[in-house]
């Protein structure tokens, strides 16, 4: 209930029916009635057009999503073969030659050196390259001699090979007491 100081407003009239409004306007002026009736018909057309465009866009999206879902999944790439006990296994290796070297095509010349047991200090032409297994790229002329030494404490092993053009050479040095 409103308080004593509140102003009482007259109740608002119920919303007028559009048909009644047109009838009243037509009674006052035929031009106004024509404008109102032309505007009333146009209000629905844009809504219908927007609804039709929205429905078409939804249909296109659903068809596109269905086409994507039907694509055959790509096969995962073949797993690479893992070579146990090697730093880098020569791809397409020509196998072990008579001198125990493994070779493969490569860009430049490189050595892959392993020792038994692993962990020996490796030198290539007098330069320490680290603990085995070691991968060492070399700048050398084809035919040049390369000396590889491995040592672990008092035990050592030495091996010589020749530099070759575009070749990866794998060597295994066995340390003996």
Alpha carbons 104 and 110: distance in angstroms, whole number: 10
CA-based torsion, 157, 161, 136, 115: positive or negative? negative
CATH number of 102-174: 2.60.40
Lookup: tokens for 35: 């404008």
Alpha carbons 41 and 24: distance in angstroms, whole number: 18
Reported pTM: 0.46
| Cα-trace Rg, the chain | 45
Q: List the domain boundaries for the chain.
A: 18-70, 102-174
For 101, the 3-state DSSP assignment is coil
Full strand arrangement of the beta sheet holding 167-174 = 102-105, 167-174, 109-116, 134-138
Q: What is the pLDDT along the chain (177 residues), one digit of tens a residue?
A: 555 665 666 676 677 776 776 677 667 776 766 665 565 555 556 777 788 888 888 888 877 777 666 665 666 666 555 444 455 554 444 555 556 788 888 888 999 999 988 899 999 999 999 998 999 899 999 999 999 999 998 899 999 999 999 999 999 999 876
The pLDDT of residue 64 is 74
Alpha carbons 117 and 120: distance in angstroms, whole number: 7
């Amino acid at each position: 209930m409103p308080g004593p100081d509140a102003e009482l407003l007259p109740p608002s009239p119920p919303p007028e029916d559009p048909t009644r409004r047109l009838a009243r306007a037509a009674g006052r002026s035929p031009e106004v009635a024509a404008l109102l009736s032309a505007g009333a018909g146009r209000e629905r057309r844009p809504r219908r057009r927007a609804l039709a465009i929205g429905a078409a866009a939804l249909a296109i999206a659903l068809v596109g999503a269905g086409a994507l879902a039907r694509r055959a999944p790509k096969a995962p790439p073949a797993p690479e073969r893992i070579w146990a006990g090697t730093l880098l296994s020569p791809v397409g290796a020509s196998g072990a030659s008579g001198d125990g070297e493994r070779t493969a095509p490569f860009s430049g010349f490189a050595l892959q050196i392993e020792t038994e047991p692993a962990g020996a200090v490796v030198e290539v032409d007098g330069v320490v390259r680290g603990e085995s297994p070691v991968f060492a790229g070399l700048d050398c002329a084809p035919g040049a001699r390369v000396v590889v030494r491995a040592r672990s404490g008092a035990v050592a092993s030495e091996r010589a090979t020749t530099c070759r053009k575009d070749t990866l050479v794998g060597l295994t040095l066995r340390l003996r007491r």
